[in-house]
Amino acid sequence: MLLFVLLVMMMVSWTEAGYTGGVLTHTSKDVQENSFTVVFRFKFGFSSCGELETWICSGCTKKIDESSGEWCLGEYTVRGSSSFYNYYYGSWSSTWINNTNGVSSGLAQMFIEGRKRSDINRANSSPQTGILPVMRVPSNCQRNINLLTFDPDGDHVQCRHGSNPSNYECYTCTPPSVLSLSSSCSLSFSPTSSSDEGSYAVQLMMEDFPRQTITLTRYDGYTTSISTSSSMSRIPVQFVFKVDPAAPSCTAGEYLPRFLPPTPEHGAQFFIDINEMIEINIRAEATQSVITELLFSGPVNMTKNSSGSGNFTLRWTPSDIDNEESHPICFAVQATSVSDLIRSC
The answer to whether the beta carbons of residues 139 and 191 sit under 8 Å apart is yes
pLDDT of residue 343: 38
Amino acid at 265: E
Which carries the bigger pLDDT value, residue 128 or residue 90? 128
pLDDT of residue 337: 74
Which carries the bigger pLDDT value, residue 2 or residue 93? 93
pLDDT of residue 52: 79
d(CA 140, CA 243): 9
Order of strands across the sheet with 258-260?
A: 258-260, 278-285, 311-316, 303-306
Which carries the bigger pLDDT value, residue 2 or residue 208? 208
| Averaged confidence pLDDT in the chain | 89
Residues 6+ apart with CB under 8 A from 159: 147, 149, 181, 182, 183, 184, 185, 204, 205, 206, 207, 237
| Percent of the chain at pLDDT exceeding 70 | 90
Categorize the per-residue pLDDT at 272 as very low, low, confident or very high, splitting at 50, 70 and 90.
very high
The answer to whether the beta carbons of residues 294 and 306 sit under 8 Å apart is yes
Q: What is the mean pLDDT of residues 140-154?
A: 96
- The CA distances from residue 95 to 16, 20, 44, 63, 176, in Å, are 11, 9, 12, 20, 17
Domain that holds residue 192: 3-14+16-343
Residue 296: closest CA among 331, 260, 261: 331
pLDDT of residue 13: 34
The answer to whether the beta carbons of residues 77 and 64 sit under 8 Å apart is no
Number of domains in the chain: 1
d(CA 117, CA 112): 13
d(CA 188, CA 124): 30
Does 289 have pLDDT greater than 70?
yes
pLDDT of residue 88: 74
pLDDT of residue 4: 41
What pTM was computed for the model? 0.91
Residue 88: closest CA among 123, 109, 113, 124: 113
pLDDT of residue 338: 57
Q: What is the mean pLDDT of residues 268-296?
A: 95
Amino acid at 29: K
